[in-house]
Chains A and B, each alone.
Chain A
Amino acid sequence: MSLDPTYLEYPRRALGYDHALYPYAPLPRRAPLAWPDGRRVAVWFTVSLEWFPITPSDTPFRAPGHMQTAYPDYRHYTSREYGTRMGFYRLLDAFDKVGAKVSVAVNAAIAQRYPQIIADILGAGHEIIAHSTDMNGTIASTLPVEQERALIEQSLATLEEATGRRPRGWHSIARSQSFATLDLLKEAGVDYCVDWANDEMPFAFNNGLVNIPLNHELSDRQIINVQQQSVDSYAQQVLDAHDWLNAEAQAQGGGRMLPLHITPYIIGLPYRMDTFERLLADLAARPDTWFARGCDIFDAFAANQG
Chain B
Amino acid sequence: MREGSPDPELYEFQRYRARKPFAWPGGKKVAVWISPNLEYYEIDPPANPHRKSWARPHPDVVGYAHRDHANRVGHWRMADVMSKHGFPGSVSLSVALCQHHPDVVADANARGWEFFSHGIYNTRYSYGMDEAQERAIIEDSIRTVRDATGQTIRGWLAPALTHTPRTLDLIAEYGMDYTCDLYHDDQPFPVKVNKGRLLSMPYSLEVNDHYGFFIYNMSPRDYAQTLIRQYERLAAEESGTVMCIPLHSYLIGQPHRIGPFEEVLRHIAQDAGEGGRAWITRAGDIADAWYDAQEGGQ
List residues of A whose CB falls within 8 A of some B CB: 1-4, 6-8, 10, 12-19, 24-29, 60-61, 140-142, 172, 174-179, 195-200, 213, 215-218, 223, 226-229, 233, 236-238, 240-241, 243-245, 248, 256, 258
Contacts and interface: CB of A to CB of B under 8 A. Distances in A.
Given A7-B48, A7-B124, A15-B100, A237 B219 contact: yes
A245 B253 CA distance: 12
Nearest to B46: A7
A237 B77 contact: no
Contacts of B76: 26-28
Interface in B239-298: 254-260
Contacts of B43: 17-19
Contact of A197 (B65, B100, B124, B128): B65
A1 B128 contact: yes
A190 to B, nearest CB: 16
B192 to A, nearest CB: 23
A60 B59 CA distance: 13
Interface of B: 40, 42-44, 46, 48-49, 56-59, 61-62, 64-66, 68-69, 71-73, 75-77, 96, 99-104, 120-121, 124, 128-130, 132-133, 136-137, 213, 217, 219-221, 254-260
Contact of A2 (B46, B65, B133, B257): B133
Contacts of A17: 43, 100
Nearest to A215: B254
A1 to B, nearest CB: 6
Given A2-B130, A3-B128, A24-B101, A241 B256 contact: yes
Given A3-B48, A18-B42, A142 B57 contact: yes
B57 A200 contact: no
Given A1-B128, A15-B100, 11 more contacts: A13-B96, A26-B75, A26-B104, A27-B72, A61-B56, A140-B57, A176-B56, A179-B58, A199-B68, A238-B256, A240-B259
B267 to A, nearest CB: 17
Contact of B256 (A4, A240, A248): A240
14 contacts: A2-B128, A2-B130, A3-B129, A14-B99, A18-B42, A18-B100, A29-B103, A172-B61, A199-B73, A216-B66, A218-B256, A229-B217, A240-B256, A240-B259
A216 B62 contact: yes
Given A14-B100, A244-B258, A177 B69 contact: no
Contacts of B221: 233, 236, 240
Chain A interface main SS type: loop
Nearest to B76: A28
A248 B262 CA distance: 14
A10 B120 contact: yes
A228 B217 contact: yes
A177 B131 CA distance: 38
Contacts of B73: 26-27, 199-200
Contacts of B220: 237, 240
A19 B41 CA distance: 12
- Output the residue of B61, B62, B96 with the most chain A CB within 10 A: B61
